[in-house]
Amino acid sequence: MNCYSCHGMGAHGGSMGPSLVGEADETSEAVLNGEGEGMPSYKNNLCPNDIANLTAYLQLLGTGTEPTFVRWWEPNPTR
């Protein structure tokens, strides 16, 4: 969904969006419903499994165990 364009490649903050480190619960809610004038709702674009995977990823940010995908476009990305 190109989250990196606002939140940066590692979701640590970008040109327009805030850092998502430590914000898994709030971020999942914002993804579903949108937030303010800048964050659109993605509830029509993501299924519950997508949201669960996103939440799991966000929970790992800043823990030292977060995945760092080099080839994110591959079905099973290499690190």
The residue ranges of every structural domain in the chain are 22-79
Euclidean distance between CA atoms 33 and 47, whole angstroms? 13
State residue 78's pLDDT score. Answer: 63
Which tens digit of pLDDT belongs to each residue from 9-59? 778 888 888 998 888 878 888 888 998 888 999 999 999 898 888 888 888
The DSSP symbol for 52 reads: H
State residue 44's pLDDT score. Answer: 93
State residue 72's pLDDT score. Answer: 63
Residue 46 in tokens: 């993501």
